[in-house]
């Protein structure tokens, strides 16, 4: 439980955003609820999605909704679960609660929620560990993406737990650590007073003890965004160029069909950072090309950022994220520990023809207790639960 003074501070902090986003419409719920995922210091909830017949060692994508949205609405409009059916990967949706933030924004600007092993980032870390253990997912293929406040929180996850992620996708978000107070948060959203490139890079380096390899970053922004100024995209790229040891100038740039793309690649030709700027687009997630459904702050511009981000990570077209025309190899991650317990949902139709109902875990009595003990034991071993 948050204490009273903390709750009052949060209410005051977000009062100015009370009418920023209208509530999103959601259709049939495809997601299941994840419980028993640790101490949950950030008091978040968690939802997840598993395609039918998901193989052992599948990737995991963590998706963070924007303000006033929830997991179900963001999944419905973005098309992530549709793409998961096609590509064979699991989804985790951390979900904000009104007791933490009256507008359901992740608290991306509060140090208590964005420091390693604290608050909301720690809760999300516990969720990820639980999903990996329970469903036998690949620790080397974990990714995180989000919109707006969710995009800024995705940046916080990438900075505080870089060893955990192979890649990130930040949509209309902000650089990690660029704001630590309410006035700073609003200034940065308007594009005022961003820290220097050197300071942004220092913030990433001090957020963890990690020395690499570092996650690749896909950045998306609308040029006509009046909620989060488009210059924030450049600040995010600048923040990550340091640890990737990349030049200030992009390796190459392209522009077509209202989308300009700047790419920074390493000496081997692997794209490590990209900025995708959508001409004339306001604040929201770009969708289109047959994936997702338009809605508030889910903008049909004929480009699916969902599909394009997955391709950049290598979950789709293996050559997409390389500047040269060759296949990318899997990015090596840190040392991993094999999962001690694999829990599978009942198999159904093949993934591309699966029914709309989500795969669900049905455990009863002593079996459920045994599963809970295994997960809690693994969380304690990882230092995520006492």
Closest CA to 377 of 35, 1, 36, 34: 36
Q: Where are the alpha helices (DSSP H) in 136-250?
A: 149-160, 182-189, 197-206, 231-244
Exposed e or buried b per residue across 98-122, where buried means at least 16 C-beta atoms within 10 angstroms of its C-beta: eebbbbbbbbbbbeebbebebbbbb
* Widest distance between CA atoms in the chain: 59
Find the helix or strand (DSSP H, E) in which 190 lies.
none
Distance separating alpha carbons of residues 329 and 332, to the nearest angstrom: 9
Name the catalytic one among 81, 122, 123, 148. 148
Q: Which residues contact 61 (CB under 8 A, 6 or more apart)?
A: 80, 84, 89, 90, 91, 92, 142, 143, 144, 145, 310, 315
The sign of the torsion formed by the CA atoms of 337, 343, 345, 350 equals positive
HEC sequence for 238-282: HHHHHHHCCCCCCCEEEEECCEEEEEEECCCCEEEEEEEEECCCC
- Compute how many other C-beta atoms are within 10 angstroms of the C-beta atom of residue 229: 18
Q: In what order do the strands lie in the sheet with 271-278?
A: 32-33, 45-49, 90-95, 60-64, 142-147, 167-171, 216-222, 271-278, 259-265, 252-256
- Is 148 one of the annotated active-site residues of the chain? yes
Backbone angles phi, psi at 259, to 5 degrees: -120, 120
Q: What share of the chain is helix, strand, coil (3-state, %, to 5)?
A: 35, 20, 50
Give catalytic residue positions: 148
């Amino acid at each position: 439980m948050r204490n009273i003074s903390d709750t009052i501070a949060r209410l005051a902090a977000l009062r100015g955003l009370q009418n920023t986003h209208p509530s999103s419409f959601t259709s049939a719920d495809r997601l299941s609820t994840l419980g028993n995922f640790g101490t949950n210091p950030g008091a978040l909830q968690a939802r997840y999605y598993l395609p039918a017949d998901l193989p052992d060692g599948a990737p995991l994508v963590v998706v963070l909704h924007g303000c006033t949205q929830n997991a179900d609405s963001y999944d419905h409009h973005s098309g992530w679960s549709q793409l998961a059916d096609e590509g064979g990967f699991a989804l985790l949706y951390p979900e904000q609660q009104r007791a933490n933030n009256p507008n359901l924004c992740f608290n991306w600007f509060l140090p208590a929620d964005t420091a390693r092993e604290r608050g909301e980032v720690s809760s999300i870390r516990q969720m990820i560990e639980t999903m990996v253990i329970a469903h036998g997912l690949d620790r080397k293929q974990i990714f995180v993406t989000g919109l707006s406040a969710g995009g800024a929180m995705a940046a916080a996850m990438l900075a505080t737990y870089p060893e955990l992620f192979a890649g990130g996708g930040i949509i209309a978000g902000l650089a990690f650590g660029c704001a630590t107070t309410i006035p700073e948060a609003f200034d940065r959203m308007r594009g005022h007073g961003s820290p220097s490139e050197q300071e942004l890079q220092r913030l990433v380096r001090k957020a963890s003890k990690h020395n690499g390899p570092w996650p690749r970053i896909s950045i998306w922004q609308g040029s006509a965004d009046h909620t989060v100024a488009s210059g924030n995209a450049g600040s995010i790229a600048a923040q990550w160029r340091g640890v990737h040891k990349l030049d200030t100038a992009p390796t190459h740039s392209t522009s077509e069909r209202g989308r300009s793309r700047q790419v920074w690649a390493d000496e081997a030709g692997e794209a490590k950072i990209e900025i995708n700027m959508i001409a004339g687009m306001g604040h929201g997630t770009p969708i289109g090309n047959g994936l997702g459904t338009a809605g508030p702050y889910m903008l049909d511009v004929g480009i699916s950022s969902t599909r394009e981000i997955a391709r950049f990570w290598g979950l789709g077209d293996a050559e997409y994220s390389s500047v040269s025309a060759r296949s990318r190899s899997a990015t090596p991650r840190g040392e991993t520990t094999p999962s001690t317990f694999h829990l599978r949902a009942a198999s159904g139709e093949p993934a591309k023809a699966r029914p709309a109902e989500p795969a669900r875990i049905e455990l009863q009595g002593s079996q459920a207790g045994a599963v809970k003990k295994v997960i809690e034991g693994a969380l304690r071993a990882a230092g995520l639960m006492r």
